[in-house]
A and B are shown apart, each in its own frame.
Chain A
Amino acid sequence: MIPELMIALSVGAALFGVGLYGALSQTNLVMIIMGVELILAAALLNLVAFWRYLHPDVTAAKMFVLIVMAVMAVEMAVGFGIAIARFRSRGSVEMEEARELKG
C-alpha cells in the first residue's frame, strides 16, 4: 500500500461526491457548472496521483491532465455562452424554468 496515493485518491473520491451532489441539487446553471468543475478537479487529482505514485515514467499521463484542464475551460466557456443566451431570452438562468428543453 502507498499511503500518499490512498490519501490523494480518497480526497479525489470526496471531491467527486461533493461535486456530484452540487451538480444534481442546484437549480442555477452557474452553480451546476461549479459542481461539474469539482468533479473534473477530482479527475485531475486522480490522474496526477496515479502518475506520481504508480507510473512517474509515463509522461503521457501529464498530457492527459492538460487535456482535462482544456475540457474544464471549454465546459466553462460553452456553459457561460448558454447562460448568456438563456438570460437574454428568459431573464434567468434557473434550470427549473427550462422545462421547454424537455421537448
Chain B
Amino acid sequence: MSLATALFLAFFGVAAIWFGIVVFRTHSMVRSAIALLFSQTAIGAMFLVMQAEFLGVLQIMMMATEMSVMAIFMVMFMMDPGGMGKMDMTHQKRLSLWAGGIGLVAALVVIWTAGWQGPAPDVPGADEQARLLGREILGRSMFIFESAALMILTAMIAATMVAIAPQEEDTQ
C-alpha cells in the first residue's frame, strides 16, 4: 500500500463528497452547478491518482463543459437562480434522507464485508494503457463503441426534436 496514494484518494474523495453535499445545500443554483463541477473534478483527480490518466483528463474536460452548460440552463430556467429569495425547492425530505442513508449504509456494508484480497497488481504506464484501450475500442469492443456513438446521435436528434418550438402546421 502506498500511503501517499491512500492520502490523496481520501483527500479528493472528501472533497468530492463535500462539494456533492453543497450542490443540494446552497440556495444559489449557479453555486450548485459550480459545486457539482468541483465534485466531478475531484473524482477526475481520483482517477489520476488511480493511474487512469486518460479517463481522469477526459472526466475533468467533459464535466467542465457539461457543468458550464448546466449553469447556463440554471440561469435560464430557474425562478431564483441567484438564491437571493431563499426559496425552498425540496419535497419529501425525510423520505429522501432515509433512501439516501439506506443506500449509503447498504453499499458500505457490502464494500467492507466483501473481503477483496490484496495486494493490488501493477498497472502499465499511461502510453501503454492508451495503446491497449485503442486496440480494445477498434477490436473486441468496436460494436459497443459504435453503439455508443449511435446512442449519442439518437439523443442529439431526439433532444433537438423535443426542444424545437411546435410549428403552426403541427398544432393544426
Collect the chain B residues with CB atoms within 8 Å of residue A80's CB: 69, 73, 159, 163
**Residue ID in chain B nearest A33 by CB atoms:** B70
A16-B108 Cα distance, complex, nearest whole Å: 11
Is B84 engaged at the interface, CB distance under 8 Å to the other chain?
A: no
A20 touching B6 in the complex, CB below 8 Å, given contacts A26-B24, A34-B32, A76-B66 = no
Collect the chain A residues with CB atoms within 8 Å of residue B9's CB: 4, 7-8, 11
**Residue ID in chain A nearest B147 by CB atoms:** A67
Collect the chain B residues with CB atoms within 8 Å of residue A63's CB: 133, 136-137, 141, 144-145
Residues A16 and B104 in contact, CB atoms below 8 Å apart:
yes
Question: Per-residue 0/1 for A1-39: is the Cβ within 8 Å of any B Cβ (1 yes, 0 no)?
Answer: 111111111111111111111101111111101110110
* A94 smallest CB distance to B (angstroms): 8
Q: What bracket does the count of chain B residues touching chain A fall in? A: 35 or more
A91-B16 Cα distance, complex, nearest whole Å: 33
* A71 smallest CB distance to B (angstroms): 8
A34-B77 Cα distance, complex, nearest whole Å: 14
Residues B24 and A13 in contact, CB atoms below 8 Å apart:
no
Which of A2, A28, A52, A73 is within 8 Å of B89, CB to CB?
A28
Select the residue from B20, B91, B144, B162 with max chain A CB neighbours within 10 A.
Answer: B20
Q: Which residues of A contact B (CB under 8 A)?
A: 1-22, 24-31, 33-35, 37-38, 41, 44-45, 48-49, 51-54, 56-57, 59-60, 62-63, 65-67, 69-74, 76-78, 80-85, 87-88, 92-94, 96
Q: Can you show 10 pairs from A to B with CB atoms below 8 A apart?
A: A3-B1, A8-B9, A13-B104, A16-B104, A24-B92, A24-B99, A62-B55, A70-B152, A81-B160, A96-B91
Q: Which residues of B contact A (CB under 8 A)?
A: 1-2, 5-6, 9-10, 13-14, 16-17, 20-21, 23-24, 29, 32-33, 36, 39-40, 43, 46-47, 50-52, 54-55, 58-59, 62, 66, 69-70, 73-74, 76-79, 89-93, 95-97, 99-101, 103-104, 107-108, 111-112, 115-124, 129, 132-133, 135-137, 140-141, 144-145, 148, 151-152, 155-156, 158-163, 165
